[in-house]
Amino acid sequence: MKTIDIQQLAQYCLSAEEEKREIVRITEEYPNLTVEDAYLIQEELVNIKLAQGKKILGPKMGLTSRPKMVQMGVEEPIYGFIFDYMNVPNQEVVSMSDLIHPKVEAEIAFVLGKDIEGPGITGAQVLAATEYVVPALEIIDSRYQNFKFTLPDVIADNASSSRVVFGEKIPYSNDLDLELVGVAITINGKLRDFGTGAAVLGNPAQSVAMLANMLSRKGKKLKKGEVILTGGITEALLLETGDAVTAKLDGLGEVSFSIK
């Protein structure tokens, strides 16, 4: 079996992102790459970006719908990290030249009022610690050719993290039933998909709780003030130049961007 060079593979993924070019998935050359190996590659990738002066805005969850988990044959979602350079202001323009083959999905993000550390964190504990919820559009952009990858591939590639657009922060209160929040995403004025917060593990707070418990295995925790993306409520929709995208979330407002 070929020896896995964590640093080299992290640079392989990073170069693809920086140069906006597709690469062959890692498991093509390393078919025995494990999820544990993939998270080590992701950690190295994150550390390189931090050394470059980039800052983490917060973590994100992926594969948070039950059908996606079944499809990928996994028992739990995956996570990655969103950096400051990925943040696009609400209603602003995203340049297609900065991306490869982007897709967009609507999400609910959380901002905690205090740190949370697993294991054993529950959705109720997350809600008790939540200061704000935020409507969000995440642009995912796998660096792999034709969006074809296995689970370790996508983990190593920082869960396809690329760009994110946040709406206004909404102070969280118990009156807000996040699993019932209706979400509609339109592209160029046409409704393309819709769903409710329940699409994310029954309630997006469950996604945050699961993330806290997953991070605790690495000795990490969720920090006050971080913006935490909980996973797509809508399908990931392919974007094209000229697209104007809007997501409306009941009780949370809307968020939008356009592609030039």
What mean pLDDT is predicted for residues 32-56? 97
Tell me what the pLDDT averaged over the chain comes to.
Answer: 95
Residue 194 has pLDDT above 60, yes or no: yes
Secondary structure (H, E, C), the chain? CCCCCHHHHHHHHHHHHHHCCCECCHHHHCCCCCHHHHHHHHHHHHHHHHHCCCCEEEEEEECCCHHHHHHHCCCCCEEEEEEHHHEECCCCEECHHHCCCCEEEEEEEEEECCCECCCCCCHHHHHHHEEEEEEEEEEECCCEHHHCCCHHHHHHCHHHEEEEEECCCEECCCCCCHHHCEEEEEECCEEEEEEEHHHCCCCHHHHHHHHHHHHHCCCCCECCCCEEECCCCCCCEECCCCCEEEEEECCCEEEEEEEC
Residue 129: is its pLDDT beyond 60? Answer: yes
Question: Residue 66: its pLDDT value, please?
Answer: 75
Mean pLDDT of 127-143: 97
Q: How far apart are the first and last CA of the chain?
A: 45
Show me where the domains of the chain are located.
6-259
What's residue 1's pLDDT? 55
Q: pLDDT band for position 65 (50/70/90)? A: confident
Q: What's the pLDDT tens digit per position in 11-20?
A: 999 999 999 9
As a whole number of angstroms, the distance between CA 66 and CA 144 comes to 24
Would you say residue 243 has pLDDT above 70? yes
In this prediction, residue 2 has a pLDDT band, given cuts at 50, 70 and 90, of confident
pLDDT at position 76 is 84
Q: Is the pLDDT of residue 75 over 90?
A: no
pLDDT bin (cut points 50, 70, 90) of residue 136 is: very high
Q: Domain 6-259 falls in which CATH fold?
A: Fumarylacetoacetate hydrolase; domain 2 (3.90.850)
Residue whose token pair is 């593990």: 201
Question: Does the pLDDT at position 206 exceed 90?
Answer: yes
Lowest mean pLDDT among 31-35, 67-71, 128-132, 198-202: 67-71
What share of the chain has pLDDT > 70, as a percent?
A: 98
* pLDDT at res. 54: 98
Residue 123: the pLDDT is 97
Indicate whether this model's pTM tops 0.75: yes
Average pLDDT for residues 234-247, to the nearest whole number? 96
